[in-house]
Amino acid sequence: MKNPSISTHLSFFLLLILSITLTVSADRQDKFLQCLNYQFKNYSSISDDVYTPANSSYTSILQFSIRNLRFASESTPKPQVIITPEHESQIPPVVRCARKTGLEIRTRSGGHDMEGLSYVSQVPFVIVDLINLSEVTVDVEEKTAWIEAGATTGIVYYKIAEKSSTLGFPGAICTTVGVGGHFSGGGYGAMLRKYGLAGDNVIDARIIDANGRILDRKSMGEDLFWAIRGGGGASFGVITAWKVQLVDVPETVAVFSITRNVEEQNGAELWHRWQYVAPQADKDLFVGVIVLRVNTTVLVNFFSVYQGGADALVSYMQEIFPELGLVREDCTEMSWIESTLFSNQMPIDQLDALLNRTQPGLRQLKAKSDYVRTPLPLNVIEEMVSMLREPEADETNYYMVPYGGRMDEISESETPFPHRAGALYKLAGLTYWQNSEAADADRYISWSRRYYEYMTPYVSNSPREAYFNYRDLDIGVNSSNGKTSYARASIWGKPYYKDNFDRLVRVKTVVDPTNFFKNEQSIPPLQAKWTKKGN
């Protein structure tokens, strides 16, 4: 039987700790707001863009860009303040005041991050939400564009198409992704095999560093410019804008989407064969794969965007992948901008939908990413199909993006994104579920981890590569064991960046030696104190 006195004292102690924590947080919030009031000569110029829990709009602003409902619960830690700047000049005071008052900064441009790190922290923090910085300025003659970091890829595509029908950009397939995180993590899309990643086509940028300085490529220097094109911007500052090189697209592209089931239409065998075809195909051809379960049937969907006409596409596919049985009736010709809608399963005659920042069907999500360098044996694919039939996989899908082409030609060290030559494709296991109960979340996350463990022998190793934009806090979660901050961080840093991790650490040490910009998987400076919570 428990001692009532001990129980009473323990409850009192916990309440005391909670009271002290809340008091400290409130004190920091007050000091932060006072600092902002002092920093801005005309505080009213930003007051309408400052939200605290006392504001009636605070919750709606916070939740609007959350794309993973795992982090929309009442128990998820909330920011002391949300700032939605309307100009980059409003951000340096925010950085200086956060630093002065001991608050972390989390920067959000679209909210698609898989672990919610742009809007969740375990310590008192401020969100800089770039939703109002979404202007896109296209120069058709120079084939360039300046893109503010709060724009979505859909907005970018729409603005480019307004100016030209023969220019495009190799960004995300999903059109509600914010470019701030997308570009800084590398960023792939349906043109990666011809033009590389979004980050490969960045030619300038603007960033606010830990001292509140606004820097462009010239003033930040080539090392920092290298780091933010694949190494994640949140480790180095607040990126406010990107200048990109636009790419040529034909007046007409051809697309198809073909689905085969594994029960009667050889879906597993076609998936197996795809591994030998898609990464070796002509650069103009992109054929991705989505595998999912509908009721009791497992479906394998092949979706394609080809930089050319339908007749040429059919002829080429019949040559390299006759098993798929593609015929002219399966293909549709359309403009490149329409293909960005097609790839999202959106009506191609509703171009205005590209301007929509909201995403339908939001659920809870746990993501696992891998790179496949040797084709999966058919028996492994069949076991992956069997796993999809398990109860916790009712909304899971496997998502495969072929590499090769231009991705084979860019050096692993050209940017921090290292998954280049020899990677056949990126494989993601995306586990979704509806229920918000903690027990349900545990079941689905456990399934995701079992899947990941099963795949270990069949994917890249030494290190087991992972895609930074599909962040996974399971990597390195038990990595303390007395190791130094560098050694602990390298446990997840090597999968994301391979040998580029060491250079990223050197850049971080120069530009942010006190580790002001940090999160659970940010780049550490040498000698900085480091904990699993990012302190």
Domain ranges, residue 83: 17-131
pLDDT at 20: 47
- 212 and 293 assigned to the same domain: no
Asked, for residue 192, whether it belongs to a domain, the answer is: yes
For residues 239 and 268, state if they share a domain.
Answer: no
Write out the chain's pLDDT in tens, 535 residues: 445 555 555 555 444 444 445 555 678 899 999 999 988 877 788 889 999 999 999 999 999 999 999 999 999 999 999 999 999 999 999 999 999 999 999 999 999 999 999 999 999 999 999 999 999 999 999 999 999 999 999 999 999 999 999 999 999 999 999 999 999 999 999 999 999 999 999 999 999 999 999 999 999 999 999 999 999 999 999 999 999 999 999 999 999 999 999 999 999 999 999 999 999 999 999 999 999 999 999 999 999 999 999 999 999 999 999 999 999 999 999 999 999 999 999 999 999 999 999 988 999 999 999 999 999 999 999 999 999 999 999 999 999 999 999 999 999 999 999 999 999 999 999 999 998 788 889 999 999 999 999 999 999 999 999 999 999 999 976 655 556 688 889 999 999 999 999 999 999 999 999 999 999 999 999 975 444 444 3
Q: Which residue, 227, 202, 278, is CA-closest to 417?
A: 227
Torsion angle of the four alpha carbons 360, 120, 426, 395, in this order, in degrees rounded to the nearest 10: -40
Boundary (domain end) residue, out of 416, 438, 465: 465
Domain boundary among 404, 436, 465: 465
* 398 inside domain: yes
What's the CA gap between 270 and 208, in Å, rounded?
Answer: 48
Question: Nearest-CA neighbor of 185 among 133, 112, 91, 79?
Answer: 112
Residues 161 and 55 grouped into a single domain = no
Reading the block at residue 334, the tokens are: 């359309």
Contacts of 335 (CB under 8 A, 6+ apart): 161, 165, 251, 252, 253
Closest-CA residue to 398 (of 424, 419, 367): 367
Same domain (yes/no): 36, 98: yes
- Asked if residue 316 belongs to a domain, the reply is yes
> 271 and 162, same structural domain?
no
pLDDT tens-digit map of 430-449: 999 998 788 889 999 999 99
For residue 308, tell me if it sits in a domain. Answer: yes
Give yes or no: 470 in active site. Answer: yes
Please tell me the distance from the alpha carbon of residue 293 to that of residue 389, in angstroms, as a whole number.
7
CB 278 within 8 A of CB 336: no
In a domain, 32, yes or no: yes
**Do 244 and 257 sit in the same domain of this protein?**
no
Is there a contact between 464 and 456 (Cβ–Cβ < 8 Å)?
A: yes
Predicted pLDDT of residue 7: 53
Residues 457 and 390 in one domain: yes
Alpha-carbon span 98 to 81, nearest angstrom:
10
pLDDT of 35: 93
Contact 243, 281 (CB under 8 A): no
Burial class of residue 532, CB neighbours in 10 A (0-12, 13-18, 19+) = middle
At residue 12, the pLDDT reads 52
What does the block give as tokens for 183?
């570009």
| Closest CA relative to residue 524, chosen from 486, 496, 488, 493 | 486
pLDDT tens string 386-442: 999 999 999 999 999 999 999 999 999 999 999 999 999 999 999 999 987 888 899
Same domain? 369 vs 399: yes
Question: What is residue 406's three-state secondary structure?
Answer: helix
Catalytic residue among 158, 425, 467, 470: 470
Alpha carbon distance 389, 397 (integer Å): 11
CB 41 within 8 A of CB 85: no
Q: What are phi and psi of 184, to 5 degrees?
A: -75, -15
- Give me the number of domains the chain comprises: 3
CA atoms of 478 and 337, how far apart (whole Å): 45
- Is residue 301 domain-shared with residue 435, that is, in the same domain? yes
| 264 domain-assigned | yes
Residue with tokens 């969740």: 120
C-beta of residue 374 within 8 angstroms of C-beta of residue 366? no
Same domain, 58 and 193: no
CA–CA separation, 160 and 164 (whole Å):
6
Query: Domain boundary residue among 84, 99, 131?
Result: 131
Q: Which of 51, 44, 64 is nearest to 176 (CA)?
A: 64
Work out the widest C-alpha separation in the chain, in whole angstroms.
Answer: 83
Task: Extract the tokens encoding 248.
Answer: 């040529």
Task: Note the pLDDT of residue 531.
Answer: 41
pTM here is 0.93
